[in-house]
Amino acid sequence: MKQIQLKQVSKSFGDLQVIPPLDLDIEDGEFVVFVGPSGCGKSTLLRLIAGLEDVTSGQVVINGEDATAIPPARRGLAMVFQSYALYPHMSVRKNIAFPLRMAGLDRSEQERRVEEAAKVLNLTEYLERRPGQLSGGQRQRVAIGRAIVREPRAFLFDEPLSNLDAALRVGMRLEISELHKRLSTTMIYVTHDQVEAMTMADKIVVLQNGVIEQVGSPLELYRSPQNTFVASFIGSPRMNLLHGAEAAAHSSHTIGIRPEHIAISDNSGDWEGVVGLSEHLGSDTFFHINCPAFAEPLTVRASGELDLSYGSTVFLTPDLAHLHRFDERGLRLR
Amino acid sequence: MARAATTRQKTITSVIAWTVAIIIFFPILWILVLSFKSEGDAISTPLQVLTSAWTFESYAVVQDRSDYFKHFSNSVIIAVGSTLLGILVAVPAAWSMAFVPSKRTRGILMWMLSTKMLPAVGVLYPIYLLFIELGILDSRLGLVIVLMLINLPIIVWMLYTYFREIPVEILEAARMDGAGMRAELLYVLTPMAVPGIASTILLNVILAWNEAFWTLNLTAAKAAPLTAFIASYSSPEGLFFAKLSAASVMAIAPILVMGWFSQKQLVRGLTFGAVK
């Protein structure tokens, strides 16, 4: 069932159009991630769904009902903000209970649901504290608690992990994914981090300059990016995009090959190159190889065991089964 | 050597600071001294004033002749009433200007402030006639309204400054949590702005308490606050110095005491937002 639909939705701030008219369907229970570089309009799109911004034209449909003119308070959506946006003058208990209080639930029911949410999120012992007395991770959990207590139609997350340190981020990523598995409520998640997008999403929406570049499952985007933007945005390290004679040999304007789809050898191969910088991650090593045939160095993934010294000559062979071809507009060639 | 220089510098700055402070405080001190003297002694040379006998005579006469407590309660009602009414009007106004600004918000704020630059006497006549027409001349209600209007620009400006410091995301979170506008203002914005609202109230109570132009011109007997009480002892002829001083002390003492106790709050409020 389509739960949230955007029909020809656009947004302008004054004369500046940040989102040209676009369509998007979000299925019930799906985990959808909006991803793109900063300023691509992903947060604005989320705020249009939330109702925190008015659409300039088009329709926002929630559960089959036109919600375009419905204020955010009555859309039945819950949102977790980047800054957590907790109420500083209320205890954790009151913060989590606030949406229930607004919904007019009776005291005992509020109490029961807050305790339940606190247990799930390991916040029970912090219920009487103020947000100012909590760590970043705990604040984030309170924000999530405030979102889950009211059992919303869908959750909206606006870069919720970007204020946390790296270790905590991985932990919270798993917690949010688990939450989704357990609640199976629709979640819309905005991030600029393609790793978050790849690991959490059922469906990724890649945005650039307010335009949807591609919609698909993480592996669809990884395996068959529709254009060079998606090709280079999804995957880490990024795909090697090559132009010139080598691309023409495959009858295309640009060819793309991921670092993991290039074999490296010290005696024979298609392309000859010189080893530049290498990044050792332990399990893998990424080599930057300068090939005279290409303007930019190629990134190649090799096993962590392989040790190549700076300046030595190597040979590269791309795996043709995983070669991506693009035309002069950057669109994928079949 | 360095230490000696610092000590000397400290002494010099202390002397300057004390001199300035005493010059500023002197009129109030002198009023206080005169209020405890007889009328005859009050107009003698300064040296004689200080050495002459102390007496409560003026206070007794003032309380006897005019009812201090009636004026006092009028002052309280007018100052507190106009401030609270102003807050009630200004909170939603400042909210909308701080959180849903339009292209003209800045202009509206400047226009509101510009009304404070108008000489009050310029609108005395129309307001006086309006008050007669409405039958609220010499009434506490009339003064509450007029002082509220006079101070409204300041109240709105102060609240606007405080509200600007509140992250808009918190209000948006409240909206997402199902709070309507009333709930958002009542349960989220106002509690978060309590320090700002408190200092706004304090400052405006003081301004309204001390306001003399409108209170003198729009009252006669019934609604006369302490400003009128002081003024009734100011006369070009006759011996009223000691009584005028006593009346002044009685009028400013309550607000001075209140200001003294709320000093910290007041300073914090006035410098709020000035230092990022």
Give DSSP secondary structure letters for B208-274. Answer: HHH--HHHHHS-SSSS--HHHHHHTT--SSSS-HHHHHHHHHHHHHHHHHHHHHTHHHHHHHHHTTT
Minimum Cα–Cα distance from A156: chain B residue: B176
Helix (H, G, I), strand (E, B) or coil at A89: coil
CA gap B139, B127 in Å, rounded: 14
Q: Strand A240-242: give its sheet, edge to edge.
A: A240-242, A254-257, A324-326
Chain B contact present for A88, CB below 8 A: yes
Q: What is the dihedral sign for C-alpha A130, A134, A138, A140? A: positive
| Shortest distance, CA A121 to any CA of chain B (angstroms) | 19
Of B170, B172, B176, the CB nearest to A87: B170
Of B173, B180, B187, the CB nearest to A79: B173
CA gap B267, B269 in Å, rounded: 5
Cβ contacts of B187 on chain A, cutoff 8 Å: 98
pLDDT in tens, B72-116: 999 999 999 999 999 999 999 999 999 988 889 999 999 998 988
pTM above 0.90, yes or no: no
Cβ contacts of B174 on chain A, cutoff 8 Å: 87, 98
CA gap A166, A144 in Å, rounded: 19
β-sheet bridge partners, residue A263: A317
pLDDT in tens, B41-83: 888 877 788 888 888 888 988 888 888 889 999 999 999 999 9
Of A50, A83, A88, the CB nearest to B176: A50
What tokens appear for A219 in the block?
């592996």
Cβ contacts of A156 on chain B, cutoff 8 Å: 176
- What contacts A292, CB < 8 A, 6 or more positions away? A272, A273
Q: Do A85 and B180 touch (CB under 8 A)?
A: no
Q: How far apart are the first and last CA of chain A?
A: 31
Cβ contacts of B194 on chain A, cutoff 8 Å: 89
pLDDT of amino acid A108: 95
Q: Strand A154-158: give its sheet, edge to edge.
A: A77-80, A154-158, A186-191, A31-35, A203-208, A211-216
Instruction: Specify burial of residue B159 (Cβ count, 10 A radius: 0-12, 13-18, 19+).
Output: buried
Q: Which one of A43, A89, A144 makes the best mutation probe of the B interface by having the most chain B beta carbons within 10 Å?
A: A89
Write the CA distances from B208 to B137, B248, B270, integer angstroms.
18, 16, 17
- What contacts B274, CB < 8 A, 6 or more positions away? none
| Shortest distance, CA A156 to any CA of chain B (angstroms) | 10
Question: What mean pLDDT comes out for the span B20-40?
Answer: 90
CA gap A268, B213 in Å, rounded: 98
Q: Buried (b) or exposed (e) across A297-315, using 16+ Cβ within 10 A? A: bbbbbbeeeeebeeeeebb
pLDDT band of B274, cuts 50, 70, 90: very low
Main-chain dihedrals φ then ψ at residue B65, nearest 5 degrees: -80, -45
Residues of B with CB under 8 A from a CB of A: 167, 169-170, 172-180, 183, 187-188, 191-192, 194
Residues of chain A with pLDDT under 70: none
What tokens appear for B226 in the block?
């302490």
Q: Do A83 and B167 touch (CB under 8 A)?
A: yes
pLDDT of amino acid B272: 53
Are the beta carbons of A309 and A322 closer than 8 angstroms?
A: no
| Shortest distance, CA A242 to any CA of chain B (angstroms) | 44
pLDDT of amino acid B271: 61
**Taking Cα atoms as reference points, which of A167, A244, A241, A159 lies closest to residue A197?**
A159
pLDDT at B273 over 80: no
- Residue B232 CB neighbours (<10 A): 18
pLDDT over 70 for what percent of chain B? 93
Q: Do B176 and A77 touch (CB under 8 A)?
A: yes
Run of H or E including A285: strand A284-290
The interface predicted TM-score of the complex, written ipTM, equals: 0.86
CB pairs under 8 A between A and B: 62
| Shortest distance, CA B86 to any CA of chain A (angstroms) | 25
Average pLDDT of the residues of chain B: 87
